[in-house]
Amino acid sequence: MKRSHFSLLLLVLVYGWAVYWVFTRSSPVIEERPITIRIAHWQIERGPPDGFAAVIKRYEELKPKVKVEQLLVPGAVYKQWLRTNLAGDTGSDIMEWGAWLAGQKDVPARYFVPLTAELEQPNPYNVGTSQEGIPWQDTFHDNLIGARRDSPDPGQIYAVTVTELSVRLFCNAELLKKITGSTAAPKTYDDFRRILALTQAYARRTSQPINGLAGSRDNGLWITSAVFAGPLLALNYQFDDSGYLYLYNRQVLAAYLEGRWNFQRPEVKAGLQLVREVSQATKPGYLQLRRDDAMLEFFSGGALFLFTGTWDATTIKQTAPFPVTAMRLPPITPDDPEVGKYIMAVAGEGRGETAMAMYLNKTSSHPKEALDFLQFLTSVPGNQLFTDKSLWLPAINGVDVPDEIKPFRDYQLGYAIGQSPYNFIGSEVSMAWDSNFYELTGDQGSVDKFAAKLDQVMPQKIRMDLENEARNALLLVKPQDALIIAQANLVDESDQGLMHAQRRREMEAGQTMSEGLAFQMKLQLARSKLP
């Protein structure tokens, strides 16, 4: 073969290989950033993706060897995506998780790593800020209430949070003026009730399909949780044997099985009446609709209020074709003319709960870098970037809050009900609530019918949920035996060895606590066994 033919052949081969590479690979031949970490979340509303992008851009400037990819997974498929990837060992390094994701309660114990030891140390990215030298966990505005509460192990913290959320009534100010003659926000719950009645009258008078509240399953659940809790407070304190001034789901479930409350109790019926009132102000069949449908209904002028979280505030602000005002849902007080006699005190929102909980995947290939990114994301400078670009409240103390979102930090102080309102204390309970909800709403529905139906179906459902709670506690406990022994056998005098000793101690304490809880729940189940 002549030399020129050989060169030509070589050129064609190299060109062919280059074309193949370009069309089949997305990464360059030589990776400039050898480490890639991925962070997955479902916050695809307007705001967070830009916030994360700003944080990532700055982080990559600081860490030239690390590339961070943001995976936006729609909420509708997140559960399935999460479970499939975790089971297949292909999960992202950092993943968002929430305790309310139905059927996913076991995920943290199975797949995520506790961050307790790291959270006790200062966040290195806070040097030179107001949070310098403060343990990382104490730099969160709420001391990580949610991450502590939702931890599968009461002695451990598994997540860090990025933002702070609250729920608010977003009001179409123009429509409010047309309906009530004023743009004044309701001062009491009875004012709010009256505005809902006026809206119904206005819709009838003008023959326009206008509802008091924009409806969807999610929006319905949020307002249900807010109003249902009010009258339950008095009941709650009657079976707070532990003295926590707060009830965990397992305690409410056990109290039902022990016959200490049921849906016939006047406090519970008062709560159901409030749920019926807000349901009647919402489009029929709203439980079948999604958040986007409620948003559309509100934007098209079909509803006066949209009750949603501040997570939708940026979208609402950028999309609504009319002026929108955000206001707190007025608290239900002891002087309420309908249910006041059952109200012990005002239920509070606390001082804001931080959210968008990020967890570190146990099987991450780069746990050190992923943890480092989490520290930057939740540092004063990192969280400031997120806040400025997303217009979501910061989770971290010392971050400046932009003026337009400052009102979201105006919280209703009051008593805490506990982990969840009684319609949400377990997945079986929630499903039974939903499937029988028609008994409460519409012209055919009533509080009495719904309460009777719930007491018929709930004993079995509540038992199943308490069994699930006990099972989940043991799910965490069992694998720890192997881990504790393994940690113990890696202990030596080196820094790494001492870290294993620390982990072993933490795991032993956490395991004993979880084991204790599982035993308690089993005892309660045994005590209340049906004949």
d(CA 25, CA 17): 11
Q: Which of 280, 420, 524, 528 binds other proteins (CB under 8 A)?
A: 524
When asked if residue 239 is in the footprint of other proteins (CB under 8 A), the reply is no
| Contact status: 9 vs other proteins (CB under 8 A) | no
- Check the CA dihedral 176-181-183-188 and report its sign: negative
The amino acid at residue 282 is: T
CA terminus-to-terminus distance, the chain: 93
152 binds other proteins (CB under 8 A): no
Q: CB of 385 within 8 A of CB of 51?
A: yes
Q: Which is closer to other proteins, CB of 104 or CB of 520? A: 520
Q: Could you tell me which residues are beta bridge partners of residue 418?
A: 247
Using CB under 8 A, pick the residue from 202, 222, 515, 525 that binds other proteins: 515
Q: Segment contacting other proteins (CB under 8 A): 125-133, 195-203, 378-386, 516-524?
A: 516-524
Q: Kindly state whether residue 85 participates in binding other proteins, applying the rule CB under 8 A.
A: no
Distance CA 195, CA 327 (A): 14
Q: Closest Cα partner for 102 from 221, 252, 215, 224?
A: 221
Q: Which is nearer to other proteins, 101 or 490 (CB)?
A: 490
Nearer to other proteins, 142 or 267 (CB): 142
User: Which positions from 352 to 381 touch other proteins by CB under 8 A, shown as an x/- string?
Assistant: xx--------xx------------------
| Residue carrying the six token digits 């008994």 | 439
Identified binder of other proteins from the candidate list 43, 116, 314, 427, rule CB under 8 A: 116
Binding window for other proteins (CB under 8 A); candidates: 8-16, 32-40, 327-335, 515-523: 515-523
> In the bound complex, what is the minimum distance in angstroms from residue 330's beta carbon to other proteins?
17
Report how many residues bind other proteins under the rule CB under 8 A. Answer: 60
How many C-beta neighbours within 10 Å does residue 497 have?
Answer: 12
Query: Reduced to 3 states, what is the DSSP secondary structure of residue 213?
Result: strand
Question: Distance (Å, rounded) from C-alpha 170 to C-alpha 298?
Answer: 9
Dihedral class, residue 134 (left if φ above 0, else alpha if ψ from -120 to 50, else beta)? beta
Rule CB under 8 A: say whether 84 interacts with other proteins: no
> Which residue in 416, 431, 464, 525 binds other proteins (CB under 8 A)?
416
Stretch that binds other proteins, among 36-44, 140-148, 262-270, 440-448 (CB under 8 A): 140-148
* C-beta of 286 vs 424, nearer to other proteins: 424
Residue 478 in the binding site for other proteins (CB under 8 A) = yes
By CB under 8 A, tell whether 141 contacts other proteins. yes
Residue 288 or 489 having the CB closest to other proteins: 489
Quote the Cα angle for 219-307-340, to 5°.
100
- Which residue number, 301 or 414, has a Cβ lying nearer to other proteins? 414
Sign of CA dihedral 334, 340, 342, 343: negative
Query: Minimum Å distance from CB 376 to other proteins?
Result: 24
Give CB contacts under 8 A, 24+ apart, made by 497-505. Answer: 499/117, 502/117, 503/117
Whole-angstrom CA distances from 482 to 45, 62, 258, 336, 507 are: 42, 38, 36, 56, 11
For residues 339 and 271, what is the distance between their CA atoms, to the nearest angstrom?
8
Per CB under 8 A, the list member of 40, 55, 157, 356 interacting with other proteins is: 157
Question: Cα(45)–Cα(477) distance, rounded to whole angstroms?
Answer: 37
Give me the amino acid identity at 153. Answer: D
Q: Does 190 interact with other proteins (rule: CB under 8 A)?
A: no
> Rule CB under 8 A: is residue 319 a binding residue for other proteins?
no
Nearest approach in angstroms of CB 159 to other proteins is: 12
Taking the least distance from each CB to other proteins, the nearer of 320 and 509 is 509
Q: Which two tokens stand for residue 433?
A: 């609530």
| Interface with other proteins, residue 153, by CB under 8 A | yes
Region near other proteins per CB under 8 A, out of 22-30, 38-46, 193-201, 349-357? 349-357
**Which one of 103, 321, 334, 479 is in contact with other proteins (CB under 8 A)?**
479
State whether residue 397 is helix, strand or coil. Answer: coil
For position 488 contacting other proteins by CB under 8 A, the verdict is yes
β-strands 211-213, 303-309 pairing: parallel
Of 337 and 497, nearer to other proteins (C-beta) is 497
- Does 529 contact other proteins by CB under 8 A? no
The DSSP result for 292-321, as a single string, is HHHHHHHHTTSEEEEEEEGGGHHHHHHH-S
**Does residue 258 bind other proteins (CB under 8 A)?**
no
> Which amino acid appears at position 360 of this protein?
L
Kindly state whether residue 105 participates in binding other proteins, applying the rule CB under 8 A.
no
- Return the residue of 203, 401, 457, 509 that touches other proteins, per CB under 8 A: 509
When the beta carbons of 206 and 489 are compared against other proteins, the nearer one is: 489
Which of 85, 126, 156, 378 lies at the binding interface for other proteins (CB under 8 A)? 156
Check binding of 273 to other proteins (CB under 8 A).
no
154 near other proteins, rule: CB under 8 A: yes
The C-alpha atoms of residue 526 and residue 491 are separated, in whole angstroms, by 41
Q: Token pair for residue 407?
A: 């009102």
Residue in 142, 64, 115, 20 with CA at minimum distance from that of residue 360: 115
Residues 219 and 217: their CA atoms lie apart, in Å, by 6
Binding site for other proteins (CB under 8 A): 116, 120, 141-143, 145, 148-149, 151, 153-157, 240-246, 345, 348, 350-353, 362-363, 413-416, 474, 477-479, 481-483, 485-490, 505-506, 508-510, 512-513, 515-516, 519-520, 522-524
